[in-house]
Chains A and B, each alone.
Chain A
């Protein structure tokens, strides 16, 4: 378990890191069809097709026009961040300012000694509705993250680096003839009718459940029943006026 120390404006708080995410994606192995055994991955030269041993590999950074710079291991080692236990909080921001695309992976932080100060920081973050921008080095890598309160605890969510996000600033939104006021009003009524509270536990990964069911059936020697169908090509709604009116009528009937 990774341990660190939160540092923010004179505050020092030792913490332990716990993963908050458990991936449930079904992972398959690649098998050789004839003997049903896992395949092996091999590295081969793109020139000769001959196998290359992993220890002989060097990293290269591509430049323009088919040129690359080969980087030696010692050179790369020098670039690595210095080991540290510090989780440095540089500022506290309004969560609304953080583009959702930055958020990557969540970790809980737990108290490592000073329990009182730990729960006080969680409470203070919740009260001020702020997230701390954190920088730390973990397992040889530099991370940035957001420190926030979650159900009374501290949570650290890793953030993607700025250049991992493709900015939409350079894009113009689709343009066209001005939207019709009546259609805008009906669309707003429709969205309002469909508006509600968010309860993420309402949504289940049904596809995953069906894949696991299929695997179980086959593991027991059963024959799964397959229902094939072809998805239709989507057709854009053109008579928006009528379709919005019909949608509203339908929503109201179900209300």
Chain B
């Protein structure tokens, strides 16, 4: 099964591709869209280096004679017993995709606030997939006005997703969700039965909450480890300590990748990048914030 993060990672800076393209439908209206990741994971920045100072690659080899295997030598198997697998081909899996696999059919709209965050999995941007963008803008505007989310399932890269389509500042977002049977019930997770709390205790804790009620500050969600790591890297770079050169141009650094993705997105959205952002690209802004 595909690892979602791989696609972006393997793309060259100029070759950021969408994960999926298809259409959103509501009623009989069709809105062609392309889907891009709106999250990225840490750790992709780090590379592995061997004793010869060259980067290291992963390779698949036969478990018996250690001979290197091409993609053509590799099959996909599901374990049924020890050392026994059912081999499943790409064609077989493709044939299982629903007829409307290129469609996110929004048959149900719900209040945005009605979605429990326990279901949320991963966020994506949706950009208009060609032609005019009238139907896209129409859906985005009405959903935002009503504070609605559209709910559907669809198949993307060998996996079915439950998805909520949200609209934010005129841009459609897709939020994949876990299926209900992927969330354990409290009793199945091993929790005791709910006991009634004493009203006096609840009141006391409500006061604690009220005293510390504040707006969310995204700075609290900063990654202290990543910041310490970047500091260490900068210090070593200044001292020219541990610097190596690699033969091939390494994949773009994380920051550059985000700037590229933003460029691809803003082009697909048909607009430019906002002026403020032009003056201060993500990377520079982040660095400036750190210098303070």
Residues of B within 8 A of A179 (CB): 134, 137-138, 141
Determine the residue in chain A with the shortest Cβ distance to B74.
A30
- Residues A207 and B57 in contact, CB atoms below 8 Å apart: no
Pairwise interchain contact B48-A172, C-beta atoms closer than 8 A: no
Measured as residues with beta carbon below 8 angstroms from the partner, the interface class of chain A is 35 or more
Q: Do A20 and B184 touch across chains, with their CB atoms under 8 A apart? A: yes
Closest A residue to B262 by beta carbon equals: A170
Between A and B, 30 residue pairs with Cβ closer than 8 Å are A24-B182, A32-B69, A36-B85, A43-B57, A57-B56, A67-B245, A68-B243, A91-B217, A92-B213, A125-B209, A144-B220, A163-B223, A163-B286, A166-B261, A168-B173, A170-B282, A171-B265, A174-B170, A176-B132, A191-B146, A195-B146, A198-B110, A198-B114, A203-B180, A207-B160, A218-B86, A226-B95, A237-B29, A237-B31, A244-B27
Please state if A171 and B271 are interface contacts (CB–CB under 8 Å): yes
| 0/1 string, A82-124, CB within 8 A of B gives 1 | 0000000111111111111111001010110001110111111
**Chain A residues within an 8 Å CB radius of B197:** 116, 119-120, 122-123
Is B75 on the interface with A (CB-CB < 8 A)?
yes
Query: In the bound complex, how far is the Cα of B180 from the Cα of A178, in angstroms?
Result: 40
In the complex, whether A253 has a CB less than 8 A from a CB of chain B is no
* CB pair B110 A232 closer than 8 Å: no
Q: B58 contacts which chain A residues (CB < 8 A)?
A: 41-44
A255 at the interface (CB under 8 A from B): no
Shortest CB distance B97–A (Å): 7
For A124, give the chain B residue with the smallest CB separation.
B205
A194 to B195, CA, bound (A): 38
Residue among A52, A120, A155, A244 with the most chain B CB within 10 A? A120
Query: Is the pair A205, B160 in contact by a Cβ cutoff of 8 Å?
Result: yes
| Besides A31-B74, A236-B135, 8 other A-B contacts (C-beta < 8 A) | A8-B208, A11-B208, A44-B57, A116-B195, A163-B286, A174-B170, A188-B146, A215-B80
A69 to chain B minimum Cβ distance, whole angstroms, is: 5
* Among A31, A155, A175, A214, contact of B270 (Cβ-Cβ < 8 Å): A175
Q: Does B12 contact A (CB under 8 A)?
A: no
Residues of chain A lying within 8 A (CB to CB) of residue B31: 236-237
**Chain B 202-232 residues near chain A, CB threshold 8 A:** 202-206, 208-226, 228-229, 232
**Cβ–Cβ < 8 Å partners of A39 in chain B:** 60-63, 69, 74
Contact check, A234 vs B242: say whether CB atoms are below 8 A apart.
no
Closest Cβ–Cβ distance, residue A59 to chain B (whole Å): 5
- Residues of B within 8 Å of A130, CB to CB, are 209, 213
Is B1 an interface position by the 8 A CB rule?
yes
Q: Which residues of A40-59 are within 8 A (CB) of B?
A: 40-48, 52, 56-59
Is A23 interfacial (CB 8 A cutoff)?
yes
Nearest CB in chain B to that of A226: its residue: B95
Residue A2 lies at the interface, judged by CB distance under 8 Å to chain B: no
Contact between A228 and B50, CB atoms less than 8 A apart: no
Question: Is B244 an interface residue when CB atoms closer than 8 A count as contact?
Answer: yes
* C-alpha gap A159/B282 in the complex (Å): 21
| B289 CB → nearest A CB, Å | 11
B10 at the interface (CB under 8 A from A): no
Q: Which 7 A-B pairs have the closest CB atoms?
A: A247-B27, A173-B170, A172-B271, A101-B123, A170-B277, A234-B23, A47-B54
Q: Is B287 an interface residue when CB atoms closer than 8 A count as contact? A: no
* Distance between Cα atoms of A71 and B42 in the complex (Å): 16
A236 lies within 8 A of B32 (CB): yes
B94 contacts A190, C-beta separation under 8 Å: no
Determine the chain A residues whose CB is within 8 A of the CB of B226 once the complex forms. Answer: 161, 163
* 164-211 of chain B: CB within 8 A of chain A: 164, 166, 168-171, 173, 175, 177-184, 186, 189-192, 194-198, 201-206, 208-211
In the complex the two chains form, what is the Cα distance from A205 to B97 in whole Å?
11
B93 at the interface (CB under 8 A from A): yes
In the complex, what residue of chain A is closest to B271 when comparing beta carbons? A172
Q: Which residue of A lies closest to B280 (CB)?
A: A170
* Complex alpha-carbon distance, A27 and B182, angstroms: 15
Whether the Cβ atoms of B159 and A25 lie closer than 8 Å is yes
* A172 to B276 Cα, complex, angstroms: 11
CA–CA, A86 and B1, complex, Å: 37
For B135, what are the chain A residues with a Cβ–Cβ distance below 8 Å?
236-237, 240
Is the Cβ of A238 less than 8 Å from the Cβ of B131?
yes
A20→B183 contact, CB < 8 A = yes
Q: Which residue of B lies closest to A225 (CB)?
A: B95
Q: Which residues of B contact A56 (CB under 8 A)?
A: 50-51
Check if B102 sits within 8 Å of A240, measured CB to CB.
no
